[in-house]
Structure 1
Amino acid sequence: MAILVVVLFLLFIAFGIPIAFSLGLASLIYLLVAGVPLTVIPQTMFAGMNSFVMLAIPAFILAGNLMNAGGITNRIIDFANAIVGHIRGGLALTNVASSLGFAGISGTALSDTASIGSVMIPAMKKQGYGAGFSAAVTSISSTVGPMLPPSLPMIIIGTLASVSIGDLFLAGAIPGILLAIGFLIVTYIISVKRQYPKGEKQPLSFVGKSFLGAFWALLMVVIIMWGILGGYFTPTEAAVVCVLYAFVIGKFVYKELQMKELPQLLGNTLSSTASILLLVGFANTFGWILVSEGVPLLIADGILSITENPILVILLIILLLLILGMFMETIAALVILFPVLLPVATSVGMDPVHFGVVMVLALMIGLSTPPVGVCLFVASSFAKVPITKTVKELLPYFAVAVVVLIIVAYVPSLSLFLPSLFE
């Protein structure tokens, strides 16, 4: 029966049905065939969503929408361009650096791709960068965002495993910065090889002015971490504080947020939140079925039957996550797979916080890979270029991302060093 539900899920995805509904339909058919009461569906969906921490998701999404409407995206891009714009391939480097700064606002890779991509891709194409390259840089650099606070995937993991979300936020910082540095190096090498343009070096006064413009947005991350780690508020309360902060900055500091925009921003927030929670709910039902069929034990036994060598077990987990990340949406994959793979990871000595970082990083790579890479599709649509061209340009970035993933997986201190400072 476990095979039935998995096969149905994959078939529905192959037919182009959204991930959430694929999970729901596969679960429904399984329950009907197995003769299980359909009351399991609302019960498990409610159980998956019934968490105080989950309230942080709509609040962080709303905070990001308010900051975007308040003009923060352009200010972050201006600051990044002031720092690296004068280097060969400066606009492409600015794209990556902007994603690093934007990470503290959105918490999701897709919103990063949409916000940064709508500005940077047309600008890059206008300056002579290839359309496929412009889309590739935008798509892959957006995967840095969820490694840094406020990260929605980290919030999901903290909810699933009862792990400190503050520790998870800290644990993703160094891996996220390593990933960004790797992307910057690849972008520079390609830009030099292709002789992409570079901008003029800006005077120090201009750099300082652009920093002041982005300062209030960057301060948002400091507020989140200071509040959570200092014990002043929970992640959910931090999210609400960020909403108030974003409103004040956008309305009274940047003075670009208009009151008439609020209904649309609230509507967008409700839409995004509903899609995420629906996905979490159906994924929890799907996960309940897998657990009831003993799939977690089968996977654990299967991996450990191949080898009990910690190095090889971690490698097998990474391969599994990279493959599944190509076909599954990140949040659905986390809800279904994290409880399944965590016992395997801990059996070979991985700390839950460390494993959470490795899992998020592996699944982030999948956001830029076909056939279900949402960031890949969004960036390609902005660039008006076939996905095949974008994927070709992404190959060196994939190589760097996998290298960083392996380093992070086998060097736990990269993830655990910062959390250890606050114990």
Structure 2
Amino acid sequence: MTAIILLLVFAVTICLSVPVAAGLGIATAVTLVLDEIPLFMMVQRMMTQINTFTVMAILFFMLSGEIMCKGTMTEKLISWAEALVGHIRGGLAIAGGVAAGFFSALSGSSAATCASIGTIMIGKMEQRGYPRDYSSGVIASSGITGIVIPPSVTLVVYGVVTGTSVRKLFAAGIAPGILMSAAMCVLSYFISKKNNFGQIQEFSLKKLWETTREGIFVLIMPAIVLGGIYGGVFTPNEASVVAAVYAYILTKFKDKALPWKVMKEVLLKSIVNTAVVLFVMQTAAGFSWVLTNARVPHLLGELSASLGDSKVIFLILVNLLLLVTGCLVTGSGAVSILAPILLPVAVGYGIDPIFLGALMIVNLSIGYITPPVGVDLYIAGSIGKVPVENVIKHVMPYLILLLVLLVFITYVPAFTMFLPNLMK
């Protein structure tokens, strides 16, 4: 009964458009009052959740992403990607996917990736003969890798709430993220070829060399950050600071694009966004604690057992739960709520916590292009000045492809775990 009350109150807050963090807190507080449990228990859980050094990485990865949006890094990435694949049918759509993949490895955010790449690419694609609706759809789809490819802020959140190694989680996000990005680029090629979208430009080795030389400091940034982590040079926390400092140096001194007035805005936005994530993590901690005390993990295990007591059935249930949740709650919030509940059940089935984290992130990334929340849908629609319904229409082929890839990632765990296992 406790769990039902909790979920009903939370559902009501969502329907009333109450922010997720506040909705989680209200639902938890109401349930505790009705069950006559002291509210200080909720406060205690909230403070314990973020009482870890790892949360520092969230702020600095967000700061890094915000700084990069202010300079010419995105333009350099896109110019390089266009020089690389612009001679292929659908080359500019593919270039958008390639640039989004690289930007994901710099920002750790799906929304930032979609907004940064979309601001430049959607208009450019229209000039090259791509329908604006399609351009918005392909950029929205490409942007979802922002929370999969490390350094993903959502993976950091999973690491914090489950006590799992962020270093290994980052390794687990690499293969699925690259697969998703590459597969969407291939699909863009076939869609463009079928519909005769876009103009093909002549391949120029000289232009590729020039754009590579111009963007080399941006292109090597993922290698510096991730290479430093896996080479044992610095921890993920230290890597977040390195990323922010590196982005600042490039933007401030090379691009000359970060005056103090703009930097203050960047700092404020990063702090506010980090505060939102931490508040969600805190209120979700109380929410998950109530569900755990109501024996919800045990009930999930019993439900899975009643349907066959197999890992296959359990993973189907997990995917369905995460896909539905991703339609309503964005990545960090969903992870904060569900990870503590799903983890003990998953471990009981012999599922590695690292793999579960990667699987959760892949599922929840799909939610960024799934109504009604679908953050990337609204960002791309707003940038492209097209109705969201039109964006959804062109996102559908990519959504179907991603669901197929999800099945592969779910039932071929060795693909995801290859890199993390090398670190043992």
TM bucket (normalised to shorter chain) is over 0.9
- 1:192 matched to 2:187? The reply is no
| 2:132 match | 131
Partner in structure 2 of residue 286 of structure 1: 287
What is the CA-CA distance between 1:233 and the residue it aligns to?
A: 2.1
Length, aligned pairs only: 423
User: How far 1:388 sits from its partner (Å)?
Assistant: 1.9
Which whole-Å CA distance do the structure 2 matches of 1:153 and 1:341 have between them? 16
Match of residue 298 from structure 2:
297
Instruction: Give, in angstroms, the shift of residue 408 of structure 1.
Output: 1.0
Is contact 1:300-1:341 (8 Å) kept? no
Superposed CA offset, 1:295-324 (max 9, x none): 121122222221212222212211221122
Shift of 1:251: 2.2
1:159 aligns with 2:160: yes
Matches within 5 A, 1:11-410: 11-410=12-411
Q: 1:241-296: CA deviations, max 9, x gaps?
A: 22221222222333333333211111111121111111111111211111122212
Measured in 2, the distance between the counterparts of 1:256 and 1:411 equals 45
Q: Distance in 2 between matches of 1:176 and 1:127?
A: 28
Displacement of 1:181 in angstroms is: 1.5
Structure 1 unpaired stretches of 5+: none
Structure 1 residue 411 corresponds to structure 2 residue 393: no
Q: Output one character per residue of 1:5-55: Cα deviation in whole Å (capped at 9) or x when no partner.
A: 101111211222221222122122222222222223322221122211011
Q: Distance in 1 between matches of 2:128 and 2:36?
A: 61
CA contact (8 A) 1:354 1:412 kept: yes
Please say if residues 104 and 218 of structure 1, whose CA atoms lie closer than 8 Å, have aligned partners that are also in contact.
no
Give, as a single letter, the amino acid of the residue that structure 2 aligns with 1:414.
F
Q: What is the CA distance between 1:384 and its match in structure 2? A: 2.0
Are the equivalent residues in 2 in contact too, given 1:104–1:148 (CA < 8 A)?
yes
Counterpart residue type for residue 3 of structure 1: I
Q: What amino acid maps onto 1:100 in structure 2?
A: G
> Separation in 2 of the partners of 1:18 and 1:377?
17
What SS class does the counterpart of residue 172 from structure 1 fall into? helix
* Paired position in structure 2 for 1:2: 3
The answer on whether the counterparts of 1:113 and 1:379 sit within 8 Å (CA) in structure 2 is yes
Query: Hey, what's the Cα distance between the residues in 2 that align with 1:65 and 1:239?
Result: 13
Deviation for aligned residue 1:78: 0.8
User: Contact between 1:365 and 1:398, CA under 8 Å: does it hold in 2?
Assistant: yes
Q: Distance in 2 between matches of 1:17 and 1:127?
A: 42
SS across alignment from 1:326: helix
AA partner of residue 10 (structure 2): F
1:245 counterpart SS class: helix
What code does the residue aligned with 1:354 have? Answer: F
Secondary structure at the counterpart of residue 241 of structure 1: helix
Query: What is the rounded CA distance, in whole Å, between the counterparts of 2:132 and 2:68 in structure 1?
Result: 28
Do the aligned partners of 1:380 and 1:390 also contact (CA within 8 Å) in 2? yes
Kept in 2, the 8 Å contact 1:144–1:180? The answer is yes
SS at match of 2:328: coil
Question: Are the equivalent residues in 1 in contact too, given 2:378–2:388 (CA < 8 A)?
Answer: yes
Amino acid corresponding to residue 318 of structure 1 in structure 2 = N
Q: After the TM superposition, which of the residue ranges 140-149 and 221-230 deviates more from structure 2? A: 221-230
Q: Which amino acid aligns with 2:109?
A: T
TM superposition shift of 1:157: 1.6
Contact 1:92 1:137 in 2 (8 A): yes
Cα 1:208–1:285 shift into 2, 3 Å: same
> Is the contact made by 2:45 and 2:286 (CA closer than 8 Å) also made in structure 1?
yes
TM normalised by structure 1 equals: 0.96
**CA distance, structure 2, for counterparts of residue 195 and residue 55 of structure 1:** 47
2: CA distance, partners of 1:132 / 1:241? 38
- Write the letter of the residue equivalent to 1:240: V
Q: Deviations over 1:137-158 (max 9, x none)?
A: 1111111122212111111122
Q: Secondary structure at the match of 1:87?
A: coil
Could you tell me which amino acid in structure 2 is paired with residue 130 of structure 1? P
Q: Distance in 1 between matches of 2:417 and 2:280?
A: 30
CA distance in 1, matches of 2:276, 2:15: 20
In the aligned structure 2, how far is the partner of 1:159 from the partner of 1:283?
A: 12
Is the Cα contact below 8 Å between 1:166 and 1:225 reproduced in 2? no
Percentage of matched positions with identical amino acids: 35
Where structure 2 has 5 or more consecutive residues not aligned to the other structure, the ranges are none
In structure 2, C-alpha distance between the alignment counterparts of 1:337 and 1:171, rounded to whole Å? 19
Q: Is the 8 A contact 2:63 2:244 kept in 1?
A: yes
Q: Which range is displaced more, 313-322 or 250-259? A: 250-259
Aligned partners of 2:189 and 2:372: how far apart in 1? Answer: 28
Shift of 1:70: 2.6
